[in-house]
Amino acid sequence: MKRSRKNTTVDDSLILYAELNDAEIRAAQRHLKTGLFKRIVPGVLSASPEKEWPAIIALQRLI
């Protein structure tokens, strides 16, 4: 997924809808539907396994 703005992470470990444009949101929703991404909470997706979510979120709180 190509992104034009500075995002929370450089990979797909944490994806925030607030940082995406309309086309990127639709692409993220397609990935969610196919199972590539999972929803952490509404508006926040991740491609990482659920066991890694606490560490990813904790790291982002420090930055």
For the stretch 7-58, pLDDT in tens is 555 677 889 999 999 999 999 999 999 999 999 999 999 999 999 999 988 8
Q: Closest Cα partner for 18 from 30, 10, 6? A: 6
Predicted pLDDT at 11: 72
Task: State residue 60's pLDDT score.
Answer: 80
Entry pTM: 0.73
- Cβ(40)–Cβ(52) under 8 Å? no
Complete edge-to-edge strand list for the sheet that includes strand 15-16: 15-16, 44-46, 38-41
By CB atoms closer than 10 A (0-12, 13-18, 19+), residue 25 is: middle
